[in-house]
Amino acid sequence: MNRYQHILPLTIDLLAGGAFSHLKDEEISSLHRLIMKMKEPLSPLQASLLLTFWNHADAVQIPASLLYRCNTVLQQLGRNPIEELLPEMDTY
């Protein structure tokens, strides 16, 4: 079983669910092009490229079930979970 088998479909679900809507248009276009070029099974490099986008996903926009599935995959790969993006606040 390919350990990267869920990354492409979950990335498509994240994109459809608005998890990347806060990114610049060029970045979203880049993700679209990347997805269009990829086919299963993903190579480690392809999986890494998609997971780079996951690092910038906004958890607030992601349905709980999808967030759980994504975080499970990230945990299995030894990566940090997708977290809610919080605005940086200056501390005094």
For 55, residues 6+ apart whose C-beta sits below 8 A from its C-beta are 80
In a domain, 91, yes or no: no
Helices (H), the chain: 7-16, 25-37, 44-54, 64-76
Query: Residue 29: which domain range?
Result: 7-76
In a domain, 89, yes or no: no
In a domain, 1, yes or no: no
In a domain, 2, yes or no: no
Of 53, 61, 50, the C-alpha closest to 6 is: 50
What pLDDT sits at residue 83?
82
> pTM of the prediction?
0.87
Question: What value does the CA radius of gyration of the chain take, rounded to a whole number of Å?
Answer: 14
In a domain, 42, yes or no: yes
In a domain, 83, yes or no: no
How many folded domains does the chain comprise? Answer: 1
In a domain, 46, yes or no: yes
> For residues 45-55, b (16+ Cβ closer than 10 Å) or e, as one string?
ebbebbbebbe
In a domain, 92, yes or no: no
Per-run averaged pLDDT (10 residues), the chain, 92 residues = 90 96 95 94 95 94 94 95 66 54
What pLDDT sits at residue 85?
56
What pLDDT sits at residue 2?
81
